[in-house]
Chains A and B, each alone.
Chain A
Amino acid sequence: MAEQLFQRDVYGQTLVELGRDNKDIVVLDADLSSSTRTNLFAKEFPGRFFNFGVAEQNMMATAAGLASCGKTVFLSTFAIFASGRAWDQVRNSICYNNFNVKIVATHAGISVGPDGASHQALEDLALMRVIPNMNIIVPCDGPQTANAIRVAANTKGPFYIRLGRPKVPTLTSKNVFEFGKAQVLTEGNDLTIIACGIMVNQAMLAVENLAKKGIKVRLINLHTLRPIDAETIINAASQTRGIIVCEEHTIIGGLASSIDEVVSENHPTKVIRMGIKNRFGQSGDPSELLKEYNLTSLDIENSAQELLR
């Protein structure tokens, strides 16, 4: 069985490593540092960590002020608050200024589980994707999280990095990550599956089962939503019989919409969007919720067979 890691543990550890070399890194949190794991940085570099309490708007705009003085600011809270609660601050104080503020949002998606709908950010990618200057990465596992954090630290401008709550199996190796370049995990020309975050694992399981039935799937881990790798998507649209998109996010405005936009402008093809369909979330175990919202590997297999029918 593959190694299982919490993305936020990897995030916290990576921040500490980065903080040792780069004295301009400052970290902020809003009363969730033990959950987001920014507390690791706080312990090591107390002079460069600030907790703002339950006040996300202030945290975002304060990050802008720090960045205006040359700091590279990483800040964290749950995705629901990072994207929705302080959207105007993210737009006007961070992105409009094109400041070096890296929003690392944890506990995203339906897989938050028992906390239920109020805490399940299913719209965050849509909210962040519409703001000019924003870069967006949705890592699928531990090593990719470390890579994403390092890229954000070394790339100018604002970032939104989306992490989940549960442990995820390691699918990628440490050295294979290129910002803005989608990762083709399996080659195939029958159909394409494009996924991000925890859905990459579900898609991988589906691809293995489909292979046993003789269906060769091109599986793409589209970890960078902005800037988007249009070339890889257009190739998939032109070389395979259709695309299935999997995300634990509303099918409006996130990964699926990103694919639709590229495909419809460049090479129209059939796209099946697998995500949350105009519903709020609810309490349950992550695995139960994936089943309830038709996001399991079995659901993906069924969609694949429907697409090829």
Chain B
Amino acid sequence: MKYTKDNLRDLEAKAKNIRRLIIRMIAKAGSGHPGGSLSSTDLITALFFSVLRHDPKNPKWPERDRFHMSKGHCCPLWYALLSATGYFPEDKLFTLRQLGSLLQGHPDRRTPGIESASGSLGQGLSVALGISLAARIDKKGYRVYVLMGDGEIQEGNIWEAAMAGAHYKCDNLCAILDYNGFQIDGKTCNVMSLEPIVDKWRSFGWHTIEINGHNMEEILSAYEEAGSVKGKPSIIIAHTIKGKGVSFMENVCDFHGRAPTQEESQQALKELA
């Protein structure tokens, strides 16, 4: 075992705390997207606490690794992690979606730690590609990570970027696919099938790593593997559960974009205690 049990337990505890923050933020805001925020929590919590080289006290550190959330509607997760790692105080989280807030309904550069907006789906992989090429021009060793949703990769722009990432051999680029199997209108397999998803990325020239996106050990191994690949970009295809961690939200399409009521929020927090 490469990672100690303590490491893994610690990350799991952190992820649970992030999930609690997500529920509280969205409940307070009265709108937002809990389903996909919860499905990608383990993936991105591990990234922020154990993988990403960054310095919240010096957010412009030139050597920093970059993270971009292409599926911008899951920004409660991003905000919770930025706060938990020290980019801004926790109380700011509860201004989510309010007029004048640092925390917009979708990511915006006014938020400390966010370097590029997102929200209109399908553009983030290209943004990450640009960051990857900038590192090449500047001969910097930083890496760039980008989180995409499964519904999101129905956008054509994603595949343009997929082609370009492989063409330019961007091995400092790691995409993370939150494959929770749901989108607004239902199951992805019914709305617009993505399969065979691994073959698609492989045929586009990417190194693919398929994991259980809720298993911390698999997650950490995947990041490590992606970091060792030379000559091509990597994608971690993570099988996840939409709404993970809250029983009545799991695999329930309605919670893609609906806030929990006060009652539901209390119940969810009990489950995440």
Contact = CB atoms under 8 A, between A and B. Distances in A.
Nearest to B72: A92
Nearest to B130: A65
A93 interface: yes
Contact of B116 (A47, A48, A68): A68
Interface string B124-142: 1011111111110110000
A57 B161 CA distance: 9
A278 B127 CA distance: 36
B140 to A, nearest CB: 9
Given A55-B163, A89-B123, A96-B117, A65 B157 contact: no
A114 interface: no
Contacts of B161: 58, 61-62
Contact of A69 (B117, B134, B160): B134
Contacts of A88: 120, 123
Contacts of B128: 65
Nearest to B70: A61
B248 interface: no
B137 A26 contact: yes
Contact of B133 (A62, A89, A93, A98): A62
Contacts of B119: 92
B164 interface: yes
A62 B120 contact: no
Q: Chain A: interface residue count, which band? A: 20 to 34
Interface string A92-117: 11001110000000000000000000
A52 interface: yes
A4 to B, nearest CB: 36
Contacts of B116: 64-65, 68, 93, 97
> Which of B68, B109, B131 has the most C-beta atoms of chain A within 10 angstroms of its own C-beta?
B131
B123 A53 contact: no
B115 interface: yes
A249 interface: no
Interface string A71-91: 100000000000000001101
B86 interface: no
| Chief secondary structure at chain A's binding surface | helix
A67 B161 CA distance: 17
A62 B117 contact: no
A143 B243 CA distance: 59
Q: Chain B: interface residue count, which band? A: 20 to 34
> Which of B122, B128, B157 has the most C-beta atoms of chain A within 10 angstroms of its own C-beta?
B157
B157 A58 contact: yes
B131 A47 contact: no
A70 interface: yes
A187 B156 CA distance: 52
> Which of A52, A58, A91 has the most C-beta atoms of chain B within 10 angstroms of its own C-beta?
A58
B120 A65 contact: no
Contacts, number: 102
A62 B144 CA distance: 13
Contacts of B127: 61-62, 64-65, 68, 93
Given A58-B157, A93-B116, A69 B123 contact: no
A61 B130 contact: yes
A96 B104 CA distance: 13
B160 A65 contact: no
B126 A57 contact: yes
A50 B156 contact: no
A26 B161 CA distance: 18
A58 B126 contact: yes
A63 B133 CA distance: 10
Interface string A142-161: 00000000000000000000
> Which of A62, A63, A91, A93 has the most C-beta atoms of chain B within 10 angstroms of its own C-beta?
A62
Contacts of B61: none
A61 B126 contact: yes
Nearest to B122: A57
B131 A65 contact: yes
B134 A64 contact: no
A262 interface: no
B130 A68 contact: yes
A62 B109 contact: no
Nearest to B119: A92
| CB-CB nearest 5 A-B residue pairs | A65-B130, A61-B126, A69-B134, A58-B160, A55-B160
Interface of A: 26, 47-48, 50, 52-53, 55, 57-58, 60-71, 88-89, 91-93, 96-98
20 contacts: A26-B133, A50-B133, A52-B160, A53-B167, A55-B163, A55-B164, A57-B157, A58-B161, A60-B126, A61-B126, A61-B161, A63-B130, A65-B128, A65-B129, A65-B131, A65-B133, A67-B130, A71-B134, A88-B123, A97-B116
Given A58-B129, A69-B135, A97-B109, 14 more contacts: A26-B137, A55-B160, A57-B123, A58-B157, A61-B124, A62-B126, A62-B129, A65-B68, A65-B133, A66-B131, A68-B116, A88-B120, A93-B123, A96-B108
